[in-house]
Chain A
Amino acid sequence: MCIGCRACEQSCALRWNLPWNETIAAEERLSSHKLTTITTHDGVYSRRLCMHCAEPTCVSVCPVGALQKTSLGPVVYDADKCMGCRYCMTACPFQVPVYEWANRIPRVRKCDMCYGRQSAGKPTACAEGCPTGATTCGDRDALIAEAHRRMAANPGGYYQCIYGLKEVGGTSVLILSAVPFEQIGLRTDLPNQPLPGLTWAALSHVPDVVSVGSVLLGGVWWITHRREEVARAEGGPKKEPKS
């Protein structure tokens, strides 16, 4: 349904007080001054924005909890907490978070699905700005139903899958396409399990290492130093005990 008019980009820029002009429109990649973009693939249009994962990788990796998944769906960022380690940027499977590289007090930038507007019951700026209804906003189940309705109504016009339904455990942003997803530059090699489980598999062993490690090392210390104790008890002040 997208006609590539870039009204979504424009309303997004307006919402964030970011500049928007012909040059920026032509950039077609996310950056600190462009939090959503239309991408063109041989005459087929698609859109990039934060996918707002159900179990977001960025939220799990942030050491200070600057990124949070809200109950409403949007993943939001708090620059005051952020220390700028950029692990969220490395970890994001969709390469969404971007950085203010030229700023002396830099922030991570990303779409927050207009959390403020949505909390007030309003649709996102991009959905409101879209003249064709290609971008819509609402309850995830309702959107899935709408996606199925659109695909059923025009079986030839749609690639019969919803991007974001299962990818990395499901996302709050869903994408429909006329062609297979890899042709519009979306990653199709992502697992259906949420990624945070991968690091949790290692992190969950921390208590084991601490408890087993203390007992083992303490035991080794006790055994290896017993010889001296024995020597001291038997031979008197032959040798000073070490620290």
Chain B
Amino acid sequence: MTTAERLQSLLPRLADPPVSRPARTPAWYFWRLMFALLMAAGAYATYVRITSGLGGVTNLSDRFPWGIWVGFDVLCGVGLAAGGFTLVAAVHIFNLERYKPIVRPAVLTAFLGYLLVVVALLFDLGRPWNIWHPLIMWNPRSVMFEVAWCVTLYSTVLALEFVPAVLERFQMKRTLAWLRLISVPLVIGGVILSTLHQSSLGSLFLIVPRKLYPLWYSPMLPVMFFVSAVCAGLAMTIFESWHSSRAFGRQLEMPLLNGMARLLAVFMAVFLTIRFLDLLHRDVLGLLLVNRTETWLFWLECVLMIVPTVLLFSRRVRHNPTALYFMALMVLFGFIANRLNISITGMEAGSGVHYIPRWTEVAITLAICAAGFAVFRWAVLNLPVFQEKE
């Protein structure tokens, strides 16, 4: 008996196992191996990060101080975790009860997402042991200060929103009842905190009007970050439902996914409208014809967003699970392209240097993502994530 199994035997048994355990197919072994390799690479990079500082593991420089740990792990990570507040708002505030079965996985994704963002920050911050400083050393004029506070508070809210799953597992009915009592203000607070910091991640870049390429610098950045986060959150929920259904042999909630896909199409249309209207009003549409790297990256990002938006309006696409999955995937890639363009490629020309992440930076990012998938999987197998009790 391994330690893990011994620990498992101590847990009270659920009447029904939450989901069926995946069979040990060759693919199962392949992913185990991949996971082990990523973790080993991540562990090595972590060792170098600790022993030789940021300079030893990253290609960051004085002219290019933010790389993929900020651009991908933080900016994309927080956006991809937006499914939590979107679905919580839909179900608990707008009372769209039919989406209830997917609230819990979405909240779990969000909670893990935020935890991983904090882990990524521990790597990226030069002095990670001071990460708590914004809580006592205030500078309310700083966007970063607002982000720090919102992320701290919202992670707490997410923990409280997910903890019922753990309490149900251990049948702690008293605490559950107490949590129900504060659930409404908690849910409203969570949605507001999300609105604030999702948009604030965009506000971070308002301060660099001469460094960020004009196709991306805009006073509308906060609004665009908020709308694109809602899109990414919805797409991520579709993505994760599809994968969970395959991994754990569950029925895909097609009517729900179909409804979410409609919502996604509308939000994407809103985002693209704001995006192009903003270019028009700032008088920079002419830049779309200039032959520069930025122009091509802009079009890459736009194609990845426009194609799924248009196709998602089609009933046939929405009703086909595979097509729907690929549309969600394209939205996610478009979203990631957009945020990387804002934080990395769009900043290159203004900073005068070329940045390509070092392999150790990529290794840590991948290891963090892999850890996220693994913890999600563990939670689904051991906690009532997919079968909330009334």
Within 8 A of B (CB), among A53-94: 57, 60-66, 81-87, 89-91, 93
Q: How far apart sit A218 and B187, CA to CA, in the bound complex (Å)?
A: 10
0/1 string, B193-227, CB within 8 A of A gives 1: 00110011001101111110000000100100000
Closest to B130 in A: A83
Closest to B121 in A: A85
- How near does chain B come to A34, taking the closest CB pair, in angstroms? 11
Interface residue? B172 (CB, 8 A) = no
Specify which chain A residues have a CB less than 8 angstroms from the CB of B127 in the assembled complex.
82-84, 105-106
- Flag if B61 contacts A81 (CB, 8 Å): no
Which of B125, B137, B142, B180 contacts A61 (CB under 8 A)? Answer: B142
Interface residue? A103 (CB, 8 A) = yes
Interface residue? B53 (CB, 8 A) = yes
Interface stretch among B89-97, B240-248, B283-291, B330-338? B89-97
Specify which chain B residues have a CB less than 8 angstroms from the CB of A14 in the assembled complex.
none
- Flag if A200 contacts B141 (CB, 8 Å): yes
Q: How far apart sit A98 and B61, CA to CA, in the bound complex (Å)?
A: 8
Q: How far apart sit A198 and B65, CA to CA, in the bound complex (Å)?
A: 21
- Flag if B143 contacts A202 (CB, 8 Å): yes
Q: How far apart sit A91 and B60, CA to CA, in the bound complex (Å)?
A: 15
With contact pairs A61-B142, A83-B131 given, residues A191 and B203 touching in the complex (Cβ less than 8 Å): no
0/1 string, A91-131, CB within 8 A of B gives 1: 10101011111111111000000000000000000000000
Specify which chain A residues have a CB less than 8 angstroms from the CB of B58 in the assembled complex.
101
Interface residue? A42 (CB, 8 A) = no
- How near does chain A come to B255, taking the closest CB pair, in angstroms? 20
Interface size on B, residues (CB 8 A): 65
- Flag if B65 contacts A217 (CB, 8 Å): no
Interface residue? B139 (CB, 8 A) = yes
With contact pairs A31-B62, A63-B134, A98-B62 given, residues A189 and B53 touching in the complex (Cβ less than 8 Å): no
Interface residue? B146 (CB, 8 A) = yes
Closest to A91 in B: B207
Q: Most chain-B Cβ atoms within 10 A of its Cβ — which of A95, A102, A195, A203?
A: A203
- How near does chain B come to A32, taking the closest CB pair, in angstroms? 8
Q: How far apart sit A63 and B125, CA to CA, in the bound complex (Å)?
A: 13
With contact pairs A81-B137, A85-B125 given, residues A209 and B143 touching in the complex (Cβ less than 8 Å): no
Specify which chain A residues have a CB less than 8 angstroms from the CB of B13 in the assembled complex.
none
For the A-B complex, the count of residue pairs with Cβ-Cβ distances under 8 Å equals 179
Specify which chain B residues have a CB less than 8 angstroms from the CB of A86 in the assembled complex.
65-66, 126
- How near does chain A come to B80, taking the closest CB pair, in angstroms? 21
Within 8 A of A (CB), among B58-99: 58, 60-63, 65-66, 89, 92-95, 97
- Flag if B196 contacts A217 (CB, 8 Å): no
Interface stretch among A4-12, A143-151, A152-160, A219-227? A219-227
- Flag if B53 contacts A103 (CB, 8 Å): yes
Specify which chain B residues have a CB less than 8 angstroms from the CB of A95 in the assembled complex.
62-63, 351
Specify which chain B residues have a CB less than 8 angstroms from the CB of A201 in the assembled complex.
206, 219
Specify which chain A residues have a CB less than 8 angstroms from the CB of B187 in the assembled complex.
221
- Flag if A213 contacts B142 (CB, 8 Å): no
Interface residue? B144 (CB, 8 A) = yes
With contact pairs A81-B137, A83-B133, A87-B144 given, residues A198 and B209 touching in the complex (Cβ less than 8 Å): yes
Within 8 A of B (CB), among A173-196: 187, 189-191, 195-196
Interface residue? A40 (CB, 8 A) = no
- How near does chain B come to A194, taking the closest CB pair, in angstroms? 11
Q: Is the interface of A mostly helix, strand, loop or mixed?
A: loop
Closest to A217 in B: B188
Closest to B219 in A: A201
- Flag if B207 contacts A214 (CB, 8 Å): no
- How near does chain B come to A217, taking the closest CB pair, in angstroms? 5
Interface residue? A238 (CB, 8 A) = no
Interface residue? A142 (CB, 8 A) = no
Interface residue? B55 (CB, 8 A) = yes
- Flag if B126 contacts A57 (CB, 8 Å): no
- Flag if A195 contacts B130 (CB, 8 Å): no
0/1 string, B26-60, CB within 8 A of A gives 1: 00000000000000000000000011111110101
Interface residue? B329 (CB, 8 A) = no
Which of A63, A89, A198, A217 contacts B144 (CB under 8 A)? Answer: A63
Q: Most chain-B Cβ atoms within 10 A of its Cβ — which of A89, A187, A199, A242?
A: A199
Interface residue? B238 (CB, 8 A) = no
- Flag if B130 contacts A84 (CB, 8 Å): yes
Task: List 21 A-B residue pairs with CB atoms under 8 Å apart, sorted by A's residue number.
Answer: A62-B139, A63-B142, A83-B125, A83-B133, A84-B130, A90-B211, A91-B207, A93-B210, A97-B62, A101-B55, A102-B56, A106-B54, A190-B210, A191-B209, A198-B209, A199-B143, A199-B206, A201-B219, A213-B188, A214-B192, A221-B188
Q: Which 6 pairs of residues, A with B, have the shortest CB-CB distance?
A: A84-B126, A101-B55, A224-B95, A63-B144, A83-B130, A63-B145
Chain A interface (Cβ < 8 Å from any Cβ of B): 30-32, 57, 60-66, 81-87, 89-91, 93, 95, 97-107, 187, 189-191, 195-196, 198-203, 206, 209-210, 213-214, 217-218, 220-221, 224-225, 227, 240, 242-243
Chain B interface (Cβ < 8 Å from any Cβ of A): 50-56, 58, 60-63, 65-66, 89, 92-95, 97, 124-128, 130-131, 133-134, 137-148, 180, 183-184, 187-188, 191-192, 195-196, 199-200, 203-204, 206-211, 219, 222, 347, 351, 390
